[in-house]
Amino acid sequence: MLRSLVCLVVLSGIAVHAQLPSLCTVSVDVVLADKRQPLAGARVELEGAANESPSRVAVTTSSGSAQFENLMPGNYRLVVTGEGLETTYGPLFRVDSVHVFENQFIAVRRLEDKPGGPAGAGNSVNVHNLNVPNEASEELKRGNSAMQHKNFKEAAEHYSKAIAIYPQYSLGYYNLSVADRELGQTDNQRDALQKALGIDDHYVPALVGLSHLEFADHKLPETKDLLDKAISADPNNVDALALRVRVDYLQGQYEQAIADAQRVHSLPHDGFASVHYTAAAAYQQLKRIPEMISELKTYLKEDPTSSNAGYVRQEITDLGYKPD
């Protein structure tokens, strides 16, 4: 069984991650309700429904926009706050593999003589993205709209126009990389990600995106470096943590693979049940068979219809355990 478990970890891991998971992006436009003018510098918090996942925070750009990338499918809502602003809650909405790009519009009102609030706290937008010209921002929005309708070529054209207008647009390069990925243009995707990181070398979505490409090319040290940097900046990034589980395992770092798998399990992680399979293989290498069985059972519970499910049930049975 040792060989077969290891083999599946290696082969299925590369097969799955040669393509990025269908993670989602939410684009937000914030305006003043009375004037319908774009509102810059507002604090936008993205919450999971019923606070089921760690929130993320961004600050609106000069065009009143903010964006959240690499979101797991699920239900979310937006909360807008800021100095002199009435706290405004957006409606619940869902993102999933069908709605990969979601646009939200929120109108907020000002409060008179309100003490200063936490505007700008937790800013996840770099200074270059805060200074985006309106014309470039509009091209980005057109690209996002095209992505919503799966018009990937059109989206890439709009993102390219946005970058041409404002060459320091790291968000524009990242979105272009997503469109290139959907078009199957891996070289262009890599180039766009590298340019985004050339502008902001701590830009987490680009770090994670490039790490997947390096992993697909079997460049484990390069993948690990990118993932370590991404996780340092965003400790709850499930995509980065899940990929690092595989890299840890393939580099023989079994205890670290198990620890990363446990971190993934502590977060909402639909679509990443495979971390439990890899953790099981790590436990097997450490000859900790009861814990290996526990991870395999968790894998089956989270993904009972996977292509490996039958094999895993048989392996559990052959070891004298019940697959549950």
Structure tokens belonging to residue 121? 């706290």
Q: Which of 67, 99, 73 is nearest to 21 (CA)?
A: 73
One of 3.40.1350.10, 3.30.160.250, 2.40.50.140, 1.25.40.10 is the CATH number of 2-19+237-318, namely: 1.25.40.10
pLDDT along the chain (324 residues), means of 10: 51 40 78 82 80 71 84 84 86 76 87 43 49 87 86 95 94 92 94 95 91 95 96 88 96 96 88 92 94 94 87 88 81
pLDDT at 40: 86
pLDDT at 65: 87
Task: Identify the CATH number of the domain defined by range 23-124.
Answer: 2.60.40.1120
Global pTM reads 0.73
pLDDT at 223: 97
**Domain residue limits, the chain:** 2-19+237-318, 23-124
Q: Which of 116, 122, 135, 121 is nearest to 38 (CA)?
A: 135
pLDDT at 83: 82
Residue with tokens 């290891």: 6
Query: What's the rounded Cα separation, in Å, for the pair 200 and 134?
Result: 21
Residue 324 Cα to chain centre, angstroms: 32
pLDDT at 54: 57
Query: What's the rounded Cα separation, in Å, for the pair 193 and 256?
Result: 27
pLDDT at 127: 57
pLDDT at 129: 64
